[in-house]
Chain A
Amino acid sequence: MQLGFLVDLHLCMGCKGCEIACKVENEVPLSTWRLRVKYVDVGAFPETKRTFTPLRCNHCENAPCERICPVSALHYIDNGIVNIDSERCIGCAGCVMACPYGAIYIDPETQTADKCTYCAHRVASSMMPACVVACPVEANIFGDLEDPTSNISMYIQDHRDVQVRKPEKGTNPHHFYVGASQVNLNPLASERVEGFSLFNKITHLPLGGHHE
């Protein structure tokens, strides 16, 4: 079994339901996120449009975070999920430095690394990840990539524009996007100006990086 995710960006409307569901399900502390929806505005007024991209850990087949972890706190489980054992983690931040997607954070409460686990605890009880359940338009498709009859496999078969983030990194993500452009997947394709957020003026949080 190889579990994977696919997000159809044609369907996503940026409601952030998945983000909230993840926060609640996994008790993700304030100022940290396992999954979030990034908004990028494209065009010049009045010809503008807004794009939405849910971003989470890609559960890479060749995961640099797993490779660099000195104590195997990050490890693969049988269903292909890259899981984390926070009791084992020594908080070296090697994984934070290794993940090319910025998917790992240091939990300010436990002072250990954490990230999306595809809700491994729910999956173990045959439930869908919390974000999948919360999505009102079923933009998140989750399933077994090794089963050609699973929803996700059929979706990949039916669509020609299936992409992953930063394929050049050789990480082989198990997380796909349909309907994505460079603006969605490549951080260099958009500007990140000071005060970019609609709700605050913070571009960087000093969390984790306590020794600059």
Chain B
Amino acid sequence: MIHESIAATQAVVTLDVPLPDIFWGWFVTMNMWAKSIGTGLVFMLFLLMKKNPDEMKGLRTPTLIVSFVMMNVFLLFTLADLHQPFRMWHIFFYPHWTSAITVGAWMATVFVGLESLMIVVMLRKDKCLLTKNPTGFFDKLLFWVTLLAIPVTLYTAGIMAEATARELWQMSTESVQMILAATLSGSAAMILLGGSKLSDKTKQFFGAILGLSALMAFIIYMSEYIFGGMKSEEVIAILSNIKGDGEYATMFWVGQWVAYILPMLLIALARVSKSSNLLNLASILAIVGLWVVKHVWLVIPQLLSLS
């Protein structure tokens, strides 16, 4: 289209200001990655409660603590990425509700607050003033926290969709990718965390979630890779960074292999051989690879010149 007219016009920018570099870099990648694990673990704990509550014994508190830590890593990087971090309180005192950033910050704060409450209740089991049945209280609250984890996972897709300058990010695909990132990394973290506390059958169940999440996320990325350019010329220009000898082509494929393709193969092998080690390896790869995948997808639209 218009880009093809350059052959005829030989149009070249001869004087302009330097363009700003990447604005949302690896701090934001850390933010998305840590949040995926944090909310993903809550989803998995809820599934475990529904599927096999007996195996939750000894896993309630550790799982929630790991989720809580990841949520705090997410909040820390969100804060560190601000150019005026000490003004963070403005979000609570001057909230602008059309912004997914505002809605997300409020929801994430409530989410972390509820998680803290659940952890405190479990850690002070014997002296808990709030309830006589801490475990029952925990399980009840887990339902509401799981419900809240859905929009907490999704809101980053809303921010990406509101960043309209970055044509690649669309709410529909990004929201599915956010949920899949949570189920992928959550199931992987659960397999690693569960260790001997989980039966082989339950581990295989989480392995299946991991494998299916990887498969679906991979299909969506490949769909964007192949068909994304049909949406607009800007998307063609953005995707050129991960095609051919594009700047992020290698990193893109490393991410796809490590996060999705290898874990899928390993999960299939683990099901046949009933090997926990293969499951563990698939889990580690999925968690590491997810960071790479998210980073590439975050950075490439920012390479496009907007003016």
Q: Which residues of A contact B (CB under 8 A)?
A: 31, 33, 36-44, 50, 55, 64, 67-72, 88-94, 96-103, 105-106, 111-112, 168-169, 171, 182-183, 186-193, 196-200, 202-212
B76-96 near A? 1/0 per residue, CB < 8 Å? 000001111101101100111
Which of B61-69, B144-152, B275-283, B299-307 is found at the contact surface with chain A?
B299-307
**CB neighbors of A among B247-294 (8 A):** none
B23 touches A208 (CB 8 A): yes
Residue numbers in B under 8 Å from A90 (CB-CB): 82-85, 87-88, 90-91
B91 touches A42 (CB 8 A): no
B21 touches A208 (CB 8 A): yes
Residue numbers in A under 8 Å from B12 (CB-CB): 40-41, 190-193, 196
Given A42-B10, A204-B18, A187 and B94 touching (CB < 8 A)?
Answer: no
Residue numbers in B under 8 Å from A101 (CB-CB): 165, 306-307
B226: interface (CB < 8 Å): no
**Contact with B13, one of A38, A64, A111 (Cβ below 8 angstroms):** A38
B55: interface (CB < 8 Å): no
A188–B234 CA distance with the chains assembled, in angstroms: 8
A205 touches B21 (CB 8 A): yes
B82 touches A203 (CB 8 A): no
Closest residue of B by beta carbon distance from A32: B17
Residue numbers in B under 8 Å from A64 (CB-CB): 162-165
B193: interface (CB < 8 Å): no
B307 touches A211 (CB 8 A): no
A186–B306 CA distance with the chains assembled, in angstroms: 8
Least CB distance, A60 to chain B, in whole angstroms: 10
Given A70-B102, A98-B162, A189-B5, A44 and B19 touching (CB < 8 A)?
Answer: no
Least CB distance, A48 to chain B, in whole angstroms: 8
